[in-house]
Chains A and B, each alone.
Chain A
């Protein structure tokens, strides 16, 4: 039995998969489930606690997945680890950079996010190719 709070991403991912297969009715229902499972915890977090959790991901979770995936030769899982670990490190350094430089990191810049792997770019325009997963700039969207 899965813990319910992990299920929103499971269902939102299935909504994306259903869309790619042109199963729009299913996609809508999976999105509905993803919304329903999103039980918001009313708490006040901060960027420092977020960073601590990311450090734990980098130190514990990613190595654990890598070990298990290598043992059975699961290349899909290894791909997810390779991309996810890099993106998590970028999250962590973004928080550190914001802590030291403050709002100035946004001077003349926008925030772009790669819809394929999650890479975040703070720059005047999106990169031509995602440095992590190599998709072209059309997969980037601006965060407002």
Chain B
């Protein structure tokens, strides 16, 4: 287990720096150095006045499998949303009107968020869950996919 900091909530330069026994919380990039974290001793978590620090497991238990019908329905929508994203992108690229292009870019980014939500609820919730690994295994030619399978083992 290790501690992780939500930079948006952190008010900077306070308690965690003084309670951490290893100095893991004091880093130049604002994130906690997980390699120095003592298996999530949680002193920083309890001390933080802003609830900005949370603990993360190295390995998560497998989440309950998703109902196949829910997954299918969500992934159908994910595909439709991806089509909309693509259309938005092409509008942004081809239109000569800068306002229309801006609206199209907003639609593209927003639609991506909706598609990602479908993917998450469709069972691809965490990096190391079974559906993710099975998906990665379908791309034996991709170096990134092979490396990920190695890291997530």
Contact = CB atoms under 8 A, between A and B. Distances in A.
Contact of B70 (A77, A113, A120): A77
A53 B116 CA distance: 18
Interface string A71-93: 11010110110011001100100
B4 A80 contact: no
Contacts of A23: 127, 151
Nearest to B72: A68
Given A2-B135, A43-B90, A77-B70, A20 B4 contact: yes
A143 B115 contact: no
A80 B66 CA distance: 14
Nearest to B85: A9
Interface residues on B, range: 35 or more
Given A21-B127, A46-B91, A62-B77, A26 B132 contact: no
Contacts of B100: 47, 98
B73 A118 contact: no
Contact of B103 (A26, A29, A94, A118): A94
Contacts of A74: 66-67, 70, 121
Interface in A9-23: 9-10, 12-14, 16-18, 20-23
Contact of A41 (B81, B86, B127, B151): B86
Interface in B107-153: 107, 109-122, 124-127, 132, 135, 138-139, 142, 144-145, 147-148, 151-152
| Chief secondary structure at chain A's binding surface | helix
B111 A2 contact: no
Interface in B50-91: 56, 66-67, 69-70, 72-91
Contacts of A53: 80, 83-84, 87
Contacts, number: 210
Given A9-B78, A77-B66, 5 more contacts: A33-B144, A80-B74, A98-B100, A111-B102, A120-B106
Interface residues of A, number: 76
Contact of A10 (B70, B78, B84, B94): B78
Interface of A: 1-3, 5-10, 12-14, 16-18, 20-23, 25-26, 29-30, 32-33, 36, 40-47, 49-50, 53-54, 56-57, 61-62, 64-65, 67-69, 71-72, 74, 76-77, 79-80, 83-84, 87-88, 91, 94-95, 98, 103, 106, 111, 113, 115-120, 138-139, 143-144
Contacts of B73: 61, 64-65, 67-69
Contacts of A12: 112, 116
B11 interface: no
10 contacts: A2-B135, A6-B79, A21-B4, A29-B145, A57-B80, A80-B117, A87-B113, A120-B107, A120-B110, A138-B8
